[in-house]
Copies of this chain bind each other. A is one copy, B any other.
Amino acid sequence: MTEQAALRAPRQDNRRRQLLAAAARRFAHQGFRATTIRDIAGDAGMLPGSLYYHFASKNDLLLAVYEEGVRRIAANVDRAAAGAADPWARLEAACTAHLETVLDRSDYAQVIVRVLPQDAQKVSDRLIALRDEYEGRFVRLVDDLALPNPSDRRNLRLLLLGALNWSQVWYRPAGDTPSAIARQFTRYFRRALERPEEVR
């Protein structure tokens, strides 16, 4: 990259990115409705009206945050999964990456978990599609496991992801790390799955 390009090109994108980051932070911490355009613009050092040069509406801003969130968490999860040898290791790596991203590394990703699509009626379809696209990964990861009782798949996936996502409610940085939590949860999950239920 020439020095000129380094100085000029990113300018526009920078402001947009700043706004997006501010929006992600606010949406993740306060929720969608409790966040005002003034908050976001203020965080990025501009006036409310100026934000509309970069985004058409608050809904569109949420959509953009969702998109970035999916991009990031999906990239982390895919990278982590790709580095693992067998299906179980792959799932564990994916879950760890998922939870680390949500809890620690990305306001964007946290928004996907925290803000419900219904909060932005006009773009809710697209938000749902983004969520679904992302979660498809876990459908496939669970499908790859060799399970004694394959019909457990759906329920167990919902249990695992639900437990991970809910941790956002009780998680405190002072306790276990996100990756420790994810690892624990996945191991319990494995124990529950690997052998058929005993007769009681």
Contacts and interface: CB of A to CB of B under 8 A. Distances in A.
B159 A169 contact: no
Contact of A158 (B118, B160, B167, B187): B167
Interface in A135-194: 152, 155-156, 158-167, 169-170, 176, 181, 184-185, 187-189, 191-193
B188 A195 contact: no
A74 B27 CA distance: 32
A85 interface: no
Contacts of A116: 31, 169
Interface residues on A, range: 35 or more
A193 to B, nearest CB: 8
Nearest to A29: B118
Contacts of A170: 158, 162
B155 A159 contact: no
Nearest to A195: B191
Contacts of A162: 162-167, 169-170
B188 A156 contact: yes
Contacts of A167: 158, 162
Interface of A: 30-31, 33-34, 116, 118-119, 152, 155-156, 158-167, 169-170, 176, 181, 184-185, 187-189, 191-193, 195, 197-198
**4 tightest A-B contacts by CB?**
A162-B166, A192-B192, A188-B192, A33-B33
30 contacts: A31-B33, A31-B116, A31-B118, A33-B33, A116-B169, A152-B188, A155-B176, A155-B184, A155-B188, A158-B166, A158-B167, A159-B163, A159-B188, A160-B163, A162-B162, A162-B163, A162-B164, A162-B165, A162-B166, A162-B167, A162-B169, A165-B166, A187-B197, A188-B189, A188-B192, A189-B192, A191-B191, A191-B192, A191-B198, A192-B192
